[in-house]
Amino acid sequence: MAGGGEKIKWGIIGPGNIAQKFALDLELSTTSEIAAVGSRSLERAVAFGEQFDVPNQYGSYEEVARDPAVDIVYVATPHTMHYEHTLLCLQAGKHVLCEKPFAINARESAHLIEIARQRGLFLMEAMWVRYLPAMTKVREWLKADLIGEARIVKADYGICIDWDPKHRLFDPELGGGALLDLGVYPISFASMVYGEQPEQIFSTARIGETGVDEQFSLLFSYPGGKSAVINSGTRLKTPHEAYILGTKGSIRIPVFPSGRRAELVVNDKIVDVFEDSSEGRGSRYEAEEAVRCLRSGRTESAVMPLDETLGVMRTMDRIRREWGVTYRADR
Count of all residues that appear for the chain in the document:
331
pLDDT for 4: 58
SS3 124: strand
Q: Which of 134, 135, 152, 157 is nearest to 244 (CA)?
A: 152
Helical (H) or strand (E) element with 233: strand 227-233
Count of CA atoms in the C-beta half-sphere (13 A) of 3: 1
Whole-model pTM?
Answer: 0.96
C-alpha to C-alpha distance for 186 and 156, rounded to whole angstroms: 6
- Clarify whether 100 is annotated catalytic: yes
**Domain over 133-275+312-330 is classified CATH 3.30.360.10:** yes
Q: Residues 9, 94, 100, 137: which is the catalytic one?
A: 100
Over residues 207-253, the pLDDT tens digits come to 999 999 999 999 999 999 999 999 999 999 999 999 999 999 999 99
One-letter amino acid at 161 equals: I
**In 92-226, at which residue ranges do the beta strands (DSSP E only) sit?**
95-99, 123-126, 150-158, 200-207, 213-221
CATH code linked to domain 8-127: 3.40.50.720
Count of CA atoms in the C-beta half-sphere (13 A) of 115: 21
Over residues 43-62, the pLDDT tens digits come to 999 999 999 999 999 999 99
Same fold: 8-127 with 133-275+312-330? no
* Phi, then psi, of 104 in degrees rounded to 5: -80, -35
Domains of the chain by residue range: 8-127, 133-275+312-330
* Phi, then psi, of 269 in degrees rounded to 5: -125, 140
pLDDT for 3: 55
Q: Are 54 and 38 in contact (CB under 8 A)?
A: no
Is the Cα torsion angle 189, 190, 191, 194 positive or negative in sign? positive
SS3 70: coil
Q: Which residues of the chain have pLDDT under 70?
A: 1-5
Count of CA atoms in the C-beta half-sphere (13 A) of 166: 0
Q: Which residues contact 241 (CB under 8 A, 6 or more apart)?
A: 154, 155, 156, 252, 253, 254, 255, 256
Q: Are 17 and 99 in contact (CB under 8 A)?
A: no
DSSP of 284-301: HHHHHHHHHHHHTT-SS-
Q: Which of 77, 262, 267 is nearest to 168 (CA)?
A: 77
C-alpha to C-alpha distance for 224 and 181, rounded to whole angstroms: 30
For residue 120, count other CB atoms closer than 10 A to its CB: 10
